[in-house]
Amino acid sequence: MTKSVYAFGAGKAEGRASDKNLLGGKGANLAEMNRIGVPVPPGFTITTDVCTLYNQQGEEKTVAQIRAEVEDGIHHVESIMGMKFGDREDPLLVSVRSGARVSMPGMMDTVLNLGLNDDAVVGLARKSNNERFAWDSYRRFVQMYGDVVLGMKPESKDDVDPFEEIIDELKESQGVQNDTELTTADLQELVKRFKAAVKKATDQDFPTDPWEQLWGAIKAVFSSWENERAIVYRRINKIPEDWGTAVNVQAMVFGNMGDNSATGVAFTRDAATGEDLFNGEYLVNAQGEDVVAGIRTPQQITLEGSQRWAKLQDISEAERQSKYPSLEEVMPEIYQQLSDVETQLESHYKDMQDLEFTIQDGRLWILQTRNGKRTGAAMVRIAMEMLEQGIIDEKLAVLRVEPGRLDELLHPVFDPQALANATPIAKGLPASPGAATGRIVFFADEAEEWAARGEKVILVRIETSPEDVAGMDASQGILTARGGMTSHAAVVARGMGKCCVSGAGTISINYKARTLKIDKQEYKEGDWISLNGSTGNVYSGKIQTREPELSGNFGKLMDLCDKYTRMYVRTNADTPRDSKVARNFGAKGIGLCRTEHMFFEGDRIKAVREMILADDEAGRRKALDKLLPIQREDFEGIFEAMDGLPVTIRLLDPPLHEFVPHEEANQKEMADEMGISAEEVKAKVDSLHEFNPMLGHRGCRLGNTYPEITEMQTRAIIEAALNCMAKGIDTQPEIMVPLIGTKEELQMQERLIRRTVDEIFAERGEKIDYLVGTMIEIPRAALTADEVAEVAEFFSFGTNDLTQMTFGYSRDDAGKFLPIYIEKGILKVDPFQVLDQTGVGQLVEMGTQRGRSTRSDLKVGICGEHGGEPSSVKFCHKVGMNYVSCSPFRVPIARLAAAQAALENE
């Protein structure tokens, strides 16, 4: 028969750290701590397999199967502790806790002080010499057991806990405020009333037999794996149903047995900054929950920590010593033991540990250890310092940092204290990370004006359009009511590294009244609001922010990434400024320069409009002649910023109607400019209307119907490259054709490009190397990639459009239903953020393979938003891409994810 119970205690254990799957994280670590000589209260772990059995075959069969092993487990604890379960003289009390493979904080159940009854409480009182403590433990037990095991816990926020109600009644009748003021007699009365409440609710007496209590608690923990909260948590965190939870039964130790007892939590390094400093908090004569409950001020463990804390609190050294001394001062010997244990645990687990301890009557016990949670900054610092200290090697250091957490190091952040006091008023999508605080402004041009006079502003729009870019740039952050993660606001903000919350559906904006309404609350232009682009939360008022610190450790980590990565990282950038930012972050070129973004700047929009509104080719060419020098200059700036690195420039992509004036005044202005009537302009604008512009006259369809646009852009690119070459700048242009679905669409563009380039080479009498490639963003292009590769010298997967067209979800409209789909569990994540590897991924993989079947050295990359998302980057590595391209501020994240992908697939 397979073993169901693994015992530990007194320096021995049947399990070990590597048994996490079988014993859960907590159980495996309790076993391991015994093996390495850390003092742990004895106990045993019932395996996760039993949980699975329990939920498959029911409780009766399962209990029968494990009964003898559990009884042996209790006897094992009794013999180590020299105490007896349910004894009137010296009762053994135990805790019963859940513990899955991965921590699922607060999702499942725990029972403490189990084994107490009317006999055992007498023994506990005598042994502890503290009657009040014994009865307090007893009433806490009945309450916890009633809530957890007997199902008396309130189900909704509006229901009251029957036990809390009884406590409140008693406190009122005794005229006291706090639980601590209740006398022993009061606590005895509480136990009596609690038991009566149990009888009333369950029609049964409170179980007095410790064995019955134990089985009740074990069954409750197993059942809690199937509770609603746990199921939802598993779904969100992708934890498989069949993992199950273990049950840990362990001898209770008490930190509230008098002044020689204490309890606390400790970290082997600073979880906020990563500093290699042992730290933590404790309280004398207290239980674990008192440390976190905030009723008493917890004290620092180390003297140094205590002195730093006092300084921050403005507390004098004399006051600190008398009121808040450190554990190091109060119990120097125990402190020394604890300090030795933390060093031992950290070097054993080779990671920062978060531990819980209790000191019972002068004796130290460690109740739990686990890898500590930490900020992004701490993550980097700890990994790099542990590498320097020889605790971990380079590969492990790279794998230790979660790529997504690097974000926190790159953008301004809210002061944590200030954030704790703020209440969110709305929630949107975390479109671009960072923290922003500023005054509400509704119009982009006004945002520029306000910013010019030194105001900090948040641009609040229903949605943004390319005309808003300068205003967005001038703002601290952007909030939109509509639009998803690939909306204009989101993409542009990420590119700028600017905080953005998009698609906050509950806000309603009235441009005319210059107000913003959330529920019934109205906010006016000039009111302060704050945005958290990492969570999507919107706050009213001002929240203090601080600049990020890019420490030396960050640079060292990036160097390590370069050492182990196979793919390299490019950036999506359309301006020299963004290019420089990305280069500083380690981008090895531009993977996508969206040329349409350049059409909007300054006065050039007029020339663009003139081109679109022209009646014939001659009219278009006239307007294009005006645009040529401007585009050429733009490209020169970008080539210069990317000296020595490849630059992929995409030909014009969006539908023409996006560029034309829709308001009457602008139409009039355009009419004057062109010397035609306003009616003519309006008629032309109307004729450009499309029912479904995303599937309309855009991408290569523009270049194939108006070849002169492609000619102009090609000329601008190649002339810029030649001009740069003359200045000694090393340029590597790659011309990219968007939105092709057939080889012929690409071929027509390619011939046009090459003919134009040859003309320029002939005119100038000089040459430069260049490539012509295409985006793969239409499913048909992926399916026929072998044909497409006959023409294309490189592929870049445009997974924004590819996702749109594979799912059939409009990028512009998906915001209406995607959040609901995710809430209902139809989709686990937004496929516009995280590449759908199962569906869209097939097209990416197939496209890559088919492309390379024709052209074995085909360069393949990705430039959709997924190029900066860690799980998608890892997928790109697996399908054999050469590079990923993402917005500048995500370059470090992608570099780390790419290096991890290489190491994970070694």
Q: Which residues are catalytic?
A: 488, 863
Q: Whose Cβ is closer to ligand PEP: residue 342's or residue 777's?
A: 777
Q: By CB under 6 A, which span of 64-72, 132-140, 542-550, 796-804 interacts with ligand PEP? A: 796-804
* Phi, psi values for residue 383, rounded to 5°: -60, -45
What are the C-alpha distances in Å from 661 to residues 511, 658, 680? 19, 8, 13
What interhelical angle do 552-564 and 891-904 show, nearest 10?
50
626-665 binders of ligand PEP (CB under 6 A): 653
Handedness of CA 74, 78, 79, 84 (dihedral sign): negative
The distance of closest approach from Cβ of residue 863 to ligand PEP in the complex, given in angstroms and rounded to an integer, is 5
Handedness of CA 672, 678, 680, 683 (dihedral sign): positive
Q: Whose Cβ is closer to ligand PEP: residue 66's or residue 776's?
A: 776
Site for ligand PEP contains 799 (CB under 6 A) = yes
771-790 binders of ligand PEP (CB under 6 A): 777
Buried b (16+ CB within 10 A) or exposed e, 562-601: eebbebbbbbbbbbbebbbbbbebbbbbbbbbbbbbbbbe
Helix (H) or strand (E) holding 495: helix 488-496
Query: Which one of 798, 819, 847, 870 is in contact with Mg ion (CB under 5 A)?
Result: 798
d(CA 887, CA 591): 10
592-611 binders of ligand PEP (CB under 6 A): 592, 594
The distance of closest approach from Cβ of residue 862 to ligand PEP in the complex, given in angstroms and rounded to an integer, is 8
Contact at 8 Å (CB) between 534 and 847?
no
* x-marked contacts with Mg ion along 761-790 as a string, rule CB under 5 A: ----------------x-------------
d(CA 761, CA 767): 5
Q: By CB under 6 A, which span of 17-25, 743-751, 793-801, 846-854 interacts with ligand PEP? A: 793-801
d(CA 823, CA 869): 21
Query: Which one of 801, 812, 836, 869 is in contact with Mg ion (CB under 5 A)?
Result: 801
The distance of closest approach from Cβ of residue 810 to ligand PEP in the complex, given in angstroms and rounded to an integer, is 12
The distance of closest approach from Cβ of residue 13 to ligand PEP in the complex, given in angstroms and rounded to an integer, is 53
Identify the residue whose tokens are 């922010």. Answer: 545
Handedness of CA 266, 267, 271, 273 (dihedral sign): positive
Q: Whose Cβ is closer to ligand PEP: residue 213's or residue 432's?
A: 432
Give 801-841 as a DSSP string: HHHHHHHT--TTTGGGTHHHHHHTTSSSS-TTTS--TTTHH
Query: From the list Mg ion, ligand PEP, none, which binds 146 (C-beta under 5 to 8 Å, kind-based)?
Result: none
Q: Whose Cβ is closer to Mg ion: residue 354's or residue 801's?
A: 801
Q: By CB under 6 A, which span of 247-255, 311-319, 372-380, 795-803 interacts with ligand PEP? A: 795-803
Query: From the list Mg ion, ligand PEP, none, which binds 799 (C-beta under 5 to 8 Å, kind-based)?
Result: ligand PEP
575-594 binders of ligand PEP (CB under 6 A): 592, 594
Query: From the list ligand PEP, Mg ion, none, which binds 111 (C-beta under 5 to 8 Å, kind-based)?
Result: none
Q: Whose Cβ is closer to ligand PEP: residue 143's or residue 464's?
A: 464
Site for ligand PEP contains 798 (CB under 6 A) = yes
Size of the site for ligand PEP (CB under 6 A): 10
The distance of closest approach from Cβ of residue 777 to ligand PEP in the complex, given in angstroms and rounded to an integer, is 5
Amino acid at 256: N
* Residue 46 half-sphere exposure toward CB, CA atoms < 13 A: 31
Kindly give the pairing relationship between strand 435-441 and strand 457-461: parallel
801-860 binders of ligand PEP (CB under 6 A): 801
Q: Whose Cβ is closer to ligand PEP: residue 712's or residue 863's?
A: 863
Question: Is residue 106 left, alpha or beta, with left meaning phi > 0 and alpha meaning psi from -120 to 50?
Answer: left
Query: Which one of 638, 863, 896, 897 is in contact with ligand PEP (CB under 6 A)?
Result: 863
Q: Whose Cβ is closer to Mg ion: residue 473's or residue 777's?
A: 777
Q: Whose Cβ is closer to ligand PEP: residue 264's or residue 646's?
A: 646
d(CA 476, CA 458): 6
Q: Which residues bind Mg ion (CB under 5 A)?
A: 777, 798, 801
Q: Which residues bind ligand PEP (CB under 6 A)?
A: 592, 594, 653, 777, 798-801, 863-864
